[in-house]
Amino acid sequence: MQQYFKILLFIFLFKVISTTVIAQKTDSLISEGPYIFWQDGAFHAKWVEEGKLKMENNISLDFPAKEMGLGVDTEQFKSTITSNPGTAQKYRKVSNVAVISDIHGQYDLMVELLKNHGVINDNLDWVFGKGHLVINGDIMDRGDKVTEILWLAYKLEHQAKKAGGRLHFLVGNHELMVIRGDIRYLHEKYVMAAEIIGITIEELYGFNSVLGNWVRKRPAIVSINDLLFVHAGISPEFIERKMTAKKVNRIFQENILGPFPPKANKEDDYLFLMGSNGPVWYRGYFTDGEISEVGIDEILAYFRSKHIIVGHTPFQTVSSHFGKKVIGVDSSIQNGEDGEMLIVENGKLYRGLKNGEKITF
């Protein structure tokens, strides 16, 4: 009998070990990238293909488009590395606005929504004309197609500008976390890819990385017509401090996401923006008793806006709060099953469903 149990134990352990080895082997065959880096006056590409590091040094002008399918060339990369995007993010007389938020690596669902609402075509190219697409933070973390989303958004930003439109990608708390080395919510695929490439996650999105440099220059607050966009929300403390969108965007780009530590007399503002009442973390609009409609009115008056558009706090749909003064655009896309967009046409607000249907508020 004892021998019998030994045999059973051996069979059980063999199956467990075999399953683990197979899983590890499958995981090691990841494909990820590309990541483009600026070094010694040239651009270099690194990516992972079936678990193996691939690289191309001193890439040619058309290598990103022809070999990697990115739809951009190295001239765009140079512009990213050298440009200053500006901190005054105000736009007026925009007829069409589409908003998506908290995508969290769900590339396929994002593409479906953008196609069905006329932002991109089947070739994933911009067809939204002079319209503005807002990605209201949190492309990063959770899902396993973050890089695909970043490159698509990067390409669309350039295409939109050529067409007279704009793509705005606001920084969310998860961009902030990843860039600063907090990888608790990062899909393991990216940790493995960084190990294969031989760098840290912080270096993967560092200042000499095209994607990293681009993400680090994202604004925290954008205004389009009478719409105020921010990832999480504007708290009453923000108003009490008499902060401005321009000042906040500058602190994010220079100190929080950028290379410069805050000056001694600015440390208090820095800590506030990084805290729970800051624009990428605040959840007070959806916490009972934390803010009244009068408080919302004061914030709107301060920014001369009619609606605050926020993500960060998930709902099942794009949702209206405080009499349409606050619109929540985190529609739980992160779950990978369903999701919505906010569509604004000549001042009218609609829920944009996954199938392309629009429902007015």
Same domain as 346, residue 224: yes
Same domain as 243, residue 316: yes
3-state secondary structure of 96: strand
Given this model, what pLDDT does residue 27 score? 53
Report whether 53 contacts 29 (CB < 8 A): no
Same domain as 293, residue 213: yes
Report whether 202 contacts 181 (CB < 8 A): yes
**Among 65, 82, 99, where does a domain finish?**
82
Distance CA 308, CA 304 (A): 11
Distance CA 216, CA 257 (A): 5
Same domain as 63, residue 177: no
Same domain as 158, residue 29: no
Residue 161: Cβ within 10 Å count: 12
Same domain as 94, residue 77: no
Same domain as 154, residue 59: no
Which is nearest to 234 in space by CA: 139, 187, 298, 164? 298
CB-based burial label for 236 (10 Å; 0-12, 13-18, 19+): middle
Given this model, what pLDDT does residue 14 score? 44
CA angle 214, 268, 262 (to 5 degrees): 45
Q: What is residue 263's DSSP assignment? A: P
CATH of the domain at 314: 3.60.21.10
Query: Which residues are CB-neighbours of 346 under 8 A, at least 6 positions away?
Result: 95, 96
CA angle 337, 338, 340 (to 5 degrees): 155
Distance CA 148, CA 283 (A): 29
Given this model, what pLDDT does residue 127 score? 99
Same domain as 188, residue 332: yes
Residue 209: Cβ within 10 Å count: 22
Distance CA 314, CA 106 (A): 15
The gap from C-alpha 69 to its chain's centroid, in whole angstroms, comes to: 21
Strand segments, DSSP code E, in the chain are 32-39, 42-49, 52-56, 90-91, 96-100, 132-135, 166-169, 221-224, 227-230, 307-310, 319-321, 326-328, 341-345, 348-352, 358-360
Cis (ω within 30 of 0) for the bond into 34? yes
Distance CA 283, CA 245 (A): 19
DSSP 287-311: STTT--HHHHHHHHHHHT-SEEEE-
Please give the residue range of the domain that contains residue 68: 2-82
Distance CA 218, CA 111 (A): 21
Residue 340: Cβ within 10 Å count: 28
Distance CA 305, CA 294 (A): 14
Same domain as 29, residue 152: no
Element holding 324 (H helix, E strand): none
Given this model, what pLDDT does residue 26 score? 42
Same domain as 78, residue 101: no
Strand-pair partners of 126: 120
**Among 38, 64, 82, where does a domain finish?**
82
**Among 63, 82, 101, where does a domain finish?**
82
Q: Does the reported pTM lie above 0.85?
A: yes
DSSP 3-state percent helix, strand, coil across the chain (nearest 5): 40, 20, 40
Given this model, what pLDDT does residue 22 score? 35
DSSP 3-17: HHHHHHHHHHHHHHH
pLDDT (tens place) for every residue of the chain, 361 residues total = 555 445 544 444 444 444 343 334 445 689 999 999 999 999 999 999 999 999 999 999 999 999 999 999 999 999 999 988 889 899 999 999 999 999 999 999 999 999 999 999 999 999 999 999 999 999 999 999 999 999 999 999 999 999 999 999 999 999 999 999 999 999 999 999 999 999 999 999 999 999 999 999 999 999 999 999 999 999 999 999 999 999 999 999 999 999 888 877 778 999 999 999 999 999 999 998 899 999 999 999 999 999 999 999 999 999 999 999 999 999 999 999 999 999 999 999 999 999 999 999 8
The total of structural domains in the chain comes to 2
Which is nearest to 305 in space by CA: 315, 317, 297, 313? 297
Same domain as 24, residue 138: no
Same domain as 231, residue 132: yes
